[in-house]
Amino acid sequence: MTNEGCRFIYTRDCPNDICVAGAIRNYTLQLQSFADMPGMTRMAPKRGEDGRRLRWRSLTSPSTQSLQEAFKFLTHFVGDIHQ
């Protein structure tokens, strides 16, 4: 077996963003979309590091609970992927 088998390749290992890395991407984009709302500073790039177009969710009025939930899940999944 080559080292290639031990390497994470997003498009191969996370089809349709259904994996922990995809969940991290999803919750990161949710948090970035809150920052993109009127009166907030724009933080998100137009394209991800892998060159893929980022998908944005339109959130009209984020509640504190929505922000907290997205942050908690993001923190949880980063912990999972670290292991």
With CA atoms as reference, report the closest residue to 28 among 79, 64, 78. Answer: 78
Kindly report, residue by residue over 25-47, the tens digit of the pLDDT.
999 988 888 777 665 544 444 55
The pLDDT, as a whole number, for residue 40 is 53
Is the pTM of the predicted complex or chain greater than 0.75? Answer: no
For residue 6 the two structure tokens come to: 């031990």
The pLDDT, as a whole number, for residue 42 is 43
For residue 51 the two structure tokens come to: 């060159």
The pLDDT, as a whole number, for residue 78 is 93
The pLDDT, as a whole number, for residue 77 is 94
Low-confidence ranges of the chain (pLDDT < 50): 41-45, 56-60
